[in-house]
Amino acid sequence: MLKADRVELAIPNLVAGETDSAGRPFRLLDLTTMLSNEIGPTSDQEVVEALLVLYEKKMVGLGRYIGATFVPLDSLEGPGFFYHDQFRCKALPGARRRQQELSLNNRSGVFISHIGEEKPIALGLQTLLERKLPGVPVFVSSDYKSI
């Protein structure tokens, strides 16, 4: 899978299930760090490009609060929108379909199966592998969120 696709896939994964109707708040540096931890070294520029692609394809909503008013992204602002202040991102209905499309060819990773008593060990191993192998998905049979 291309790196740009991995970034595009990781963003909706981060915002899926967000309960705030305006989306999850981010600062660009924080989002880039989160994605780098998840999929490997990622630049601000790669994150911004992925956000704009997802926005143009109506897969994520983007905007920010100005005072108490939520203002959606004006596409004329371009990349500069992300470098100034905190912004919000939420998954739109099309995001789930794109996640599935991108995931089709991404069936690699580590699956840890265990018996109930071994759950703490399995979760510890998952954490260790995620730190040592950034970008490699690690699934644990008792952790339904990871699956």
Per-residue pLDDT tens digits for 8-54: 888 988 887 777 888 899 999 999 999 999 889 999 999 999 999 99
Structural tokens at position 137? 């998905």
Architecture of domain 3-103: Orthogonal Bundle (1.10)
Structural tokens at position 97? 């379909």
pLDDT at 49: 95
Portions of the chain given CATH number 1.10.10.10: 3-103
Instruction: State whether residue 4 is helix, strand or coil.
Output: helix
- In DSSP notation, 65-108 reads EETTEEEEPPGGGTTHHHHHS-EEEEE-HHHHHHHHHHHTT---
